[in-house]
C-alpha cells in the first residue's frame, strides 16, 4: 500500500489539516496546562488568546509541511510513495548506520535543542 504523506497532495490533504488541528488543540489547552506550571512558564497560557486570521493559520501550516518535505529530501535516501531522496544517503556512514539515518537523527536533535532554547528565551524575556 503506497504512502502519500510526503507527496504534494498528501501534504495538502493530510499535513495541513493535521497541523491546523494541532494548533487549535494547543491554543485550547495552553491556558489550562500553563496554569499548573511554575514561574514564567505560566505566561504560555496566553497562547489560548491568540486568534490569527484563518488564512495565516493555513499558510503557516502549509509552510511547515512544505519545509518538512524539502528537509526530508536532503536527509533521507527514499520516502515511501514518492521519488524523493538521494540514493547516496543510503550508503553506510558506519556499519549498520546509513547516512540518511544519521542525518535525520542529528537534524531532529538539533531542531529539538533549538526549539527548547527558543521556548526558554521567549518565556524568560517576557516576549509572549
pLDDT in tens, 5-40: 888 888 999 999 999 999 999 999 999 999 999 999
How many CA atoms within 13 Å lie on the side-chain side of 99?
A: 14
Alpha-carbon distance 74 to 104, whole Å?
9
Q: For residues 127 and 113, give the distance between their C-alpha atoms in angstroms, rounded to a whole number.
A: 19
**Domain ranges for the chain:** 8-124
Report the distance separating Cα 52 and Cα 13, nearest Å: 21
- Check pLDDT > 70 for residue 81: no
Residue entry with cell 537534524: 107
In this prediction the pTM is: 0.82
- CB burial readout 84-104, b (16+ within 10 A) else e: bbbeebeeeeeeeebbbbebb
Amino acid at each position: 500500500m503506497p504512502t502519500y504523506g510526503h507527496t504534494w497532495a498528501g501534504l495538502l490533504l493530510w499535513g495541513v489539516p493535521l497541523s491546523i488541528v494541532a494548533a487549535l488543540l494547543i491554543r485550547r489547552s495552553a491556558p489550562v496546562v500553563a496554569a499548573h506550571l511554575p514561574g514564567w512558564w505560566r505566561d504560555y497560557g496566553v497562547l489560548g488568546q491568540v486568534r490569527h486570521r484563518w488564512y495565516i493559520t493555513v499558510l503557516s501550516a502549509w509552510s511547515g509541511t512544505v519545509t518538512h518535505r524539502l528537509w526530508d529530501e536532503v536527509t533521507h535516501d527514499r520516502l515511501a510513495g514518492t521519488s524523493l531522496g538521494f540514493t547516496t544517503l543510503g550508503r553506510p556512514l558506519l556499519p549498520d548506520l546509513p547516512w540518511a539515518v544519521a542525518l535525520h537523527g542529528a537534524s531532529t536533535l538539533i531542531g529539538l535543542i533549538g526549539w527548547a532554547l527558543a521556548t526558554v528565551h521567549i518565556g524568560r524575556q517576557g516576549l509572549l
